[in-house]
Every structure is written in structure tokens, then in C-alpha cells.
Structure 1
Amino acid sequence: MKTAITLLMLSSLAHSSFAETKPVNNLPGHYYLQGVREVGSELLLGKDGQFQWMMSYGAVDQYAQGTWLVDKGNVLLASTPAAENPSFRLFTEDEMRIRKPAKTGTWVAIVGVPRVGPTPGIEVKFESKTGKTLTAISDANGDAIVNMPDSEEWMRAGLRGAKSKSDWQWFAIPAERKKDRIAAFANSDENQTRPAAFEKLQLKIEEKGLRISDQEAMPRGLYTKQ
């Protein structure tokens, strides 16, 4: 009888720890959300401890990337925060899709990632040939706009994160951009262009996959490995 009870206890312990042992060794891979209508979501857990996540519903697309680890039967995702002061470069003429000059009396600096999207929250300092300067912060469309007399010539622009106290990253404005009063600057940090949908996310390890367990706004479907 004692042997039977012991075996039963061992069996119960093995079952309860299944989610914390056997799946942990096989967690890296590509997962797809199942059981939630009209919502598409994917999760990639890399063997190097990095993850990529996306969710799409209706016209809304959300993204996150960062690091992951296992803790007490859960997968914990921690998004990489956006750089406070990313590096920039001028768009090439091939990357410039806006050909129409800016309105007379305005200078426009567009900040974003080519073929990805705009970057809000970047402070731009506009400097004219006479030394006159004005600053603006890029909006949700990535546009920083100032009003400048048409008699002024745009010579250079300095960029940095709006919350940064770092030195300006300066760029001479090419002749064609001066003429059109509009220039575009590529941001090196895609995390600012596509802000993470969450800072941290916990997924419970289950026998058949991973289930979000700590976010009210997130769906309760199961991520199954493909």
C-alpha cells in the first residue's frame, strides 16, 4: 500500500512540474495564437534569449521585441526600451517619397525609418545661413515644422531625442532639400518608430503551449508552437 501511495505521489509531482521542466528545454521556436477570433499574433522565442512578438486585429498592429527568460513555470518577456538618443542619417533621394516642396515660409524635417514609419518625439533644431535657429519636436507623423522667413536659407539641422540632454547630431542640408525647404532624417532605432505594446508580459507554460496570464487587455488564447 505504501508503495502504491508513493508511486501516486511521484506521479502527481511529475505531472505538476511538467510545465516547469520538460517544456522549458524545448521553448525556443515560432508560436502562433490559437482560439481567438479576428486576432492574429505570433511569438518568436530565440535560443539566444531574444524574442519578437506581433499582434494584429482590425486596423491595429502591435509589436514588441526584447529578451525572455523562464521563471517558476512562466515565460517572462521584457521589451527593449527605445533609445533615448538614437543615431540619425539623411534619407537618400531614392528614399524620399515626398517630392512636393514645403509651403513658403515653413521648413519641414521628417524623421522616421525608411519604408517602416515615422518617429515622433525627436527634437530638431533648424539653423539658417544667418545663424537664426528654431526648434520643433516631431509629431505622430514624424514631422517637425517651423515658420521661417522666406529670406532665410536653411543650412543645417541638429537632431536628438526630445528628452535627451546629449549633444545635437548635426547635418548639412543638401542643395535640393534647401530649395524645397523639406528634408528627411532616418532614425536608427525602430523601437521608437514602432513603440512596444508592453514593457513586460508573462505567459504561463502549459502542456500544449503558452498562455498570457497577466494582462487584462490581452487575449486569453493559447500560443502553440509550429
Structure 2
Amino acid sequence: MWLPTAYAAAEPRPLEGHYYLRGAMEMGAELLLRKDGTFAGGVAYGSAGGIAKGTWHVEDDILTLETEADSQPAKKLAFNFSRERTLAELEEYSQYSNNDNVDLVRKNYVMEMRYARLHPKPPAIKPVYVSFEFSQGPSSQLLLNSNEQTDLWLPYDPQRTLKKIGFATSRSSSPSQWFDVSPASRSFSIGWKKPKNQPISFEKPEESGLAETQRFLAADAQDRISKNYMVTLFHYDPITPPAVNPVDVYWQFQDGSTQQQIWADSNQLKLTQPYSATQTLQKVGLRMKGSTKDIQWFDITPDTRWLGFEWEAYPDPANGDLSVLFQDLRLAIEPDCLAVDFGNGKACFRRN
């Protein structure tokens, strides 16, 4: 009679249930995992709080929460003026890379609006073996075992140029993906993604020659690339930006004139204002349409023709500011603990 009992004890306990946060100083939180794969969560820290709901799944002893997208357009946005470029800089860069901004910038000021949360947090990955085939001689293999952006360096030999890059899940197996590459290329940028409970996959490499690569590397890396190939691997799984309420955009020039536009589509990446040699852009202002708050102004360098802005949506006020803590949250499944770190050290969600 002891056999069934011993077998039952060895079975992992189902994760569904009601959990409470333990071990996080001055923070309280609850997490409800339902059998249908949905969750509800709440957190409080001082006078701030937040609630969230969505779906959950488990892979490789990691429980991941995916929060439900807000159904209403974002009522409040944060803007960051991240970079600016002159026409000369863009024209110089276009010599080495296809850049569709150049023709547009020759006739316009261009303002690019990019969602700050371009990608979710990269998921954990199992080791990937990166294979390299050459014009002659034996192949080579390097290991990718980090989900963070990684540079792999491979010795360069002009007598045997690189022909193909492939990816395999074990040292002995054949690559499941192969990409042909140009023999003149020396650096390769390759994005990867791994949907839940699916194999990792890789995007076609973006290739660059030696001169272009050296131009954008630090001095020590410039010397290194002269003797090596560089393969940069990074997580690439773009997030669809949330809808937004309209934003008034103000283009203010040095002569005191101002042109106004409305940005209302979060998928619209570019706003333009015709360029005139007799008018120099001085400032750009942003304000939610209908808001009584002051315009948020950003000073523009006189020669600038391309402006890069990043924007982020504040949480839905109904869900509370701390609802963002549940976004793409990953918890390590440990004995009697769903381990998490909210920025103040390891804590555990535990059943009562």
C-alpha cells in the first residue's frame, strides 16, 4: 500500500492557488494563479499600490506573468529627447548603411517617435551553438549561453572567408537555421526571439564591412575587429505600442513663429515639418491635447534636422502606479517559494 503514497508525494504540487509576498521590506503583495492560465495580482508599498491581471505560463522552472494590455488609450505620457542628428551626419552614415531618413531630412525636419518599451525582457534561454562555415577548411563553433546582448569574436583569415552562420541546440546536432553571408562582411547583428514554449529562432543577419564597423567601435574594439569577425546577438521581439490620446506637437522657430501638429497614432513613427533655410528650429514642445498643464519644451541644437524622441505610457490610473511591477514578471519556481526581486532583494510568494 505504500507505493501509491510514495508516488503521490513525488508529484509536483500544482501551482494554482493564492500566494502572499514574504520577505520584501515594507511591501505587501498577493498573487492568484488560476487553473485556466489567468492571474490576478496586487501590490502595495507605502501610499502607492497597483493591481494587474493577465495570463501565466511555466517554462524551465520559470513562471512568467503577461499582463493584459490596457483597453483605454494612455491618458498620460512621458517623453524623453534621446538624440539629434544633423543632415551631414545622416548623409555620412548613409554611405555605409541603407538609411531612409536621408531623403526625407533633406527637405524636412524629422521627429521620430519611438515607444520606449521596444521589447519585453529577454526570456531565459538554453545554450545555443553558433556554427560557422568558411570558403575552405574546417568549420568553427561558439557558444551563446546568455539572454543579454552578446558579442562573439571569431578569428579572421583572408585565405578562408566566412560563408554561412548557423544555429544548433547541441554541440553534436546540425544547425536548424543557416544564413548565407557576404565574404566582404566583418560584423553581423542577429536578433533572436523565443515565444513561450517554442524553440528559439534567429533573424537574418544585418551585415557590415570592416570600414563601416570600425567607424562605430571604440578604439580597442577597432583593433580587435581588424583581426576578427564580430557577431552580435540580441533579443528582438517588438512590442506593439499601446494606443494614446492625441498629443499637441509645437515646432517653434528662432523668428518666433510656431507650427502646430497633432500626434494621435502610436504606430506613427515620424512627424515632419518642412525645412527652410530662412527659419531655424529652436524648440519642440509636447502636451496632451486638452491638458491645462504647461507645454513640455525641448531645446534643439541649430544644425539639427532629425530628432529622436522616446515615449512611455503611464499606468492606467485605475490600476495604480505600481501595476507596472507585474509587467513581464518572472518568478523562479523553488520549493515552497515563487522567488522574485522587486528591486529590494529576493522575496517569495508563498501560499498561506
Scaled to the shorter chain, the TM-score interval is 0.3 to 0.5
TM-score (ref. length: structure 1): 0.42
